[in-house]
Structure formats: structure tokens, C-alpha cells
Structure 1
Amino acid sequence: MNLENYFISQFKNAHIGDDGALIDDTVYSKDAFFEDVHFKKEWMNHYQIASKAMMVNISDAIAMNAKPKYALLSVAMPKDITKAQMRELAAGFQNVAAKYGIEIIGGDTISNVKLDITITIVSKTKKPLMRRGLKKGHLIAYTGNLGRSGKDLKRLINLGKIHKKSKFVNIELRDKFIYNSARFLSCGMDISDGLFSDLDKLSSANKSGFNFYRPVKKNIGCSGEEYEMLFGFDKRDKKAVLRRAKLSRTPISIIAQSVRKSYKNRCKAHHF
């Protein structure tokens, strides 16, 4: 067990274990977006930083088939931040919130040596999509194309440049597909730590492993920061799922079938 999972295991709570905590018909989710951990200011301007911080958090709500309604922002800012940069941050938060119908209702600001952001999203759902629910024989799939975000991150770390429309900066969320397909899906989550690492979470939640139809390259399976959707469904619903993917113009890759065996993650832990 890695250190992140060990720490989480110290909290024995029925609400912990999904992309957010479901209480009645409300989902509460929270993610951090910290300088020198998730980004460097040399890589992104302040507008892009705020936008991505919001998108990362909204992704958790979508992954649970929940509609985000409210946001609480906590922003720790360095003392040398300018008013122009503050305005960029505010615009990034507000524009993404407006796009998804979210009201920013408060939060906290403090002085810090770096720019660190945490956001709480409050969402509503009538049919939550959980990590649990996968059954033997169900198909495993993901949206979009994986690997580009990890590749661009390596470029940035090596002082290279990436395209202004890079997936590492401009996340594409799959809300239309998830909202239209949820009734056919048995489980789901977003891919934030990499395909292999997040399959490990599905495996643990459902006590299952996977028979892959073809090998998945490590640079694809270990690419984090993708924010695509990983999900399972009954093979009898394959046509319905693919039809809704086509209607929402969402690329789908069916990669495996759920089986009763162990699963081993091939990636290093991202956080520790």
C-alpha cells in the first residue's frame, strides 16, 4: 500500500472511496492544485491556473453523474502577486464556473510563499455513478486519447514548450457523454492519476481484475492529469453506450473485461 492509500485508510467512513462523498442526493468533492506540485507558474498564466483548478474539481462531479451547483475557493497567494494577476485568477475561476452553471459562494484567502488552490464543489445527482458496481464480465472502457498529457508534462519538466491547446493545460471534460449514458454504466471515475493507477482503484472497490483485449503501453497507462472518464458497463448495453458516445462526439476505447482475479498497478505513485 502506498503512503496516500495508507493515510486514507486511517479514516473509516462509508462516504470515503469515490471521486466525491455522496450524502443523500448531494456530492461533495475537493481537490488541491498546488504550485510546484501540480504546476509551475512558468508553464501557465494565472488565468490558465485558475481555469484548470476549476476543471479538475468539476471532473470529480461529472465522474459521479452529478451536476455541479456551488463552489468554495481557498486561495493561498504569494505576497508578490500583482493585482493584474489576481484579476486573471478571478476571471479564470468565474468563467469556468459560469460555463458549468456554478455559483461561487465563498471560501478563504491567505498569504503564502507559493500559489496554492483548493476548491470544494457541491453537486446534485438523482442517479449517482460510483466506483462500486462492476460485475464479472462487464466491459471496461475510457473516453478520449490517453498519453498526451503525460508527454507534455515531461516536456515542461525538461524546460521544453508545449502547444497552447495542450491537453495538460486545456482539459476537455466529458459531461455530455456521462450525463447521457449514466443509466447504462455500472461504475465510473475520472482518470487523474493514470489509467493503470485508477484501474487499481476500480479493482479494489469491486474485488476484481481485468482481462485486457490488447496490451496497453506504459506511457499511456501511466499518464496522469488526463481527466478522461473510466467506466464499466454490461456488454448487453454496448450498442447503447457507443451510440451515446457518437452523439456526444466522444471517442471510446473498450480495453478489457472484468474477471475474478488480482490486478497489479504498473505505475509509480503520483503523490508520494
Structure 2
Amino acid sequence: MDEFSFIEAIKQPFYRNQQIIRGIGDDAAVFREPYRDVVTAVDTFVEGVHFSRKTMEPFHVGYRILAANLSDMAAMGAEPISYLVAIVVPSSWSDNELKEVYRGLATIAKKYKVDLIGGDTVIGAQFVLTVTINGAVERGKARYRHQMQANDLIFVTGTLGDSAAGLSILLDNKRTNSVETSYLINRHRMPTPRVPFAREMARLRCVALNDISDGISSEANELAQASGLTVYLDENQIPISKALAQFPIGDQQMFKLSGGEDFELLGSIAPSEWDKLKEVAQKSATQLTQIGFVKDESERNGKVFIKSDGDYYRLLEPNGYVHRS
């Protein structure tokens, strides 16, 4: 299939968002946002680096990269609107496999009501998929990591470690027909970005957010460093799924602290707003757990400490995934 035929094949018949003035069909897309701040993010998946044929079907590659983009929008408190796709296709990939990538993209795009408005397709030696997402947030209401404040409560959505456990199962060929195994694999291949939760949070003040793409040990340190404050976590309060509980304790700890790619939200909020946040979680059907607190301690600011048993807090280094070798 040539490039132009492929563009016609993936082109949406209509756009779901009125902000989009022009999508696929010209040299660039146009969208209009008169009263909101525009938020944009980009993610890239490279075959052999971010995924392999052993762990991902083409459908999951498309689904998962847009899920990562949507999670970035949620972490910024933004409403996702549209996305663009740039793809490098090697000769080893068939037309049907490429269509499956776009079917994965379209499936999650439909679920979260975002529109494909353009992109580029080229032939190359290695499969590379890049997605740029556009969103918007009420002026001055974007969520930033540095907004964390002393005495805030630290919270997390969902459960942690599932994606890393699912990847471990796929890599070790430990697949069974058990419900737990299927759940963990699905959490790796088709994560759930917390867009509805973030949308409902719009009315709350002074919330700092970070999405858990690299592991909570990394994301918590990013919050501490951005705000110049000290984060204290209780490992026993970090939520895990029943499916993850089947693993040895050491694996559970590694997966939930350093595994990453759960695309849950880690954040902080003032104690006075906690009850309102619980209402948001209930309204958006999101599991919410308080896992720590924030202090202003000059000798420890910019660092994260965690306790497992008793009252002793140890330093938690950022040891999740790092995006370069």
C-alpha cells in the first residue's frame, strides 16, 4: 500500500472535537483554543527498545503508546483533544500489521474521544512509532510537579507493579490461563490512563501530579526535586493487586517501586482537600490510596524516604526506567 492510500485508509470521516478546524489533508493541522492553555506531549516507541514481538502484538503497540500520551495529559490536568502519528516502517512489517497498529490507536482514541489529525509515514530500517498529543486546560490551571507543598498528603491511583509483572510473565514464557496472569498481561499491554479522574479534579486547588511511567521511586523523587521538599512514603500502604500478590515478596517490592509503566497518577494534596479528592475518586470510579506525606526539612529536601516495617525511614533512590543508556 502506498503512502497516500494508507493516509486515506486511516483518515477519520469526522472529528469529535469542535476545536479542530482542519485535520488530515493539508501540510499541518489547525485547532483553536481561545480561552485555555494548550498542552502538548510526545512519546516514541522503538522496536527492540520499548517493545518486542514477543511481548506485544501490533494492536497493543498502537494502543499502549497513545495510553502513555493520554496519561501525560492526565498528569497535567488537561483535556486530551487530538494526536499526530509519525511512523518509520521497515520492510519486515506487513500492511496488515501496520493496520493493526492504527487499529490499536483508534480503539483507545475512540474510548477517550481524541482525534487523529495528521502525521507522517516513511520507510526505514527499524520500526519507530512517535505520537504527539494535544490537549487544553483552563488558563493557569495546569498541574505542575513544583506545586507540591509542605504538609501535603501523598496519594496514588490504582495499583502499582502490575505492568512490570505482566512484562515479566511475557518475557519468561510463564503464561497460564489463570485470571491473574491474564490480568497482569493486559495491564502491561493495555494500561488505563486516569483521564476521567484528572478531569474531575479540575475544581480542586493546589494539586501536584506526576504519572507513573518509570516507577514510583523515580516519580516521587521528581516531585521532591521539583518542589524542593521531602517526601515520606509508607511501603505497606502502596496498593498492589491480588494478581501481583502471587509473586515472591522481593519481586512484589521491585515491581511496585521500580517497575513503572502502570500509568497511574502519583500526587500531593492539602489535607483540607482530601475528602474532596475522595469524592472525585468515587465519581470517576478510581481507586485512591494515601501513601505518604510531605515535609519541609532543609537537610533532606529534594529527597524521598520510605519505611517498610516499624518507624525507620530509609532513602529511596530513583531506580526506575531511565530513557537512555
TM-score per shorter chain, which class?
0.7 to 0.9
Q: Does 1:223 align with 2:259?
A: yes
Residues 268 and 93 (structure 1), Cα distance of their counterparts in 2 relative to 1, 3 Å cut? closer
Query: Which residue in 2 is equivalent to 1:48?
Result: 60
Q: Distance in 2 between matches of 1:139 and 1:122?
A: 30
The equivalent residue for 2:122 is 110
Q: Tell me how many residue pairs correspond in the alignment.
A: 249
What RMSD in Å do the two structures reach over aligned CA positions? 1.9
Q: Is the 8 A contact 2:55 2:167 kept in 1?
A: no
- What one-letter code is carried by the residue in structure 2 that aligns with 1:26? V
Task: Please show how residues 78-117 of structure 1 align to structure 2 within 5 Å.
Answer: 78-117=90-129
Within-5 A mapping of 1:234-245: 234-245=270-281
**Structure 1: which 5+ runs fail to align?**
1-23
Counterpart AA for 1:117: L
What is the match of residue 146 of structure 2?
A: 132
Q: Which residue, out of 166, 170, 177, partners 1:152?
A: 166
Letter in 2 for 1:110: V
Structure 2 match to 1:166: 186
Q: Could you tell me how far 1:160 is from its partner in structure 2?
A: 3.2
Q: Give the TM-score normalised by structure 2.
A: 0.72
Alignment of 1:6-45 (within 5 A): 25-45=37-57
CA pair 45-29 structure 1, distance change in 2 beyond 3 A:
same
Distance 1:269 1:225, change over 3 A: closer
TM-score under structure 1 length normalisation:
0.85
CA displacement 1:32-60 (0-9 Å, x = unmatched): 11212211112221111111111111110
Residue aligning to 2:74: 62
| Residue 189 of structure 1, aligned match among 185, 210, 225 | 210
Q: Tell me, in whole angstroms, the C-alpha distance in 2 between the residues paired with 1:213 and 1:193.
A: 19
Q: Which residue of 2 aligns with 1:119?
A: 131
The alignment partner of 2:255 has SS state of helix
User: 1:163 aligns to what SS in structure 2?
Assistant: helix
Offset of residue 268 of structure 1: 4.9
Residues 68 and 122 in structure 1, CA contact (< 8 A), matched pair in contact too:
yes
User: 1:212 aligns to what?
Assistant: 233
1:179 to 180, 195, 199: 199
Structure 1 residue 110: Cα displacement? 1.8
Corresponding residue SS for 1:132 = helix
- Decide whether the 8 Å contact of 1:129 with 1:182 is kept in 2: no
Which 10-residue stretch deviates more, 169-178 or 181-190?
Answer: 181-190
Deviations 1:199-250 (A, max 9, x none): 1110111001112345564431112111001111000111111122122221
* Conservation of the 8 A alpha-carbon contact between 1:218 and 1:266: no
SS at match of 1:203: helix
Counterpart AA for 1:144 = G
Cα distance change, pair 214–91 in 1 and its aligned pair in 2 (3 A): closer
1:172 Cα offset (Å): 1.1
Could you say which residue in structure 1 is the equivalent of 2:317? 265
Distance 1:187 1:125 in 2: 15
> Would the aligned equivalents of 2:85 and 2:120 in 1 still touch at CA under 8 Å?
yes
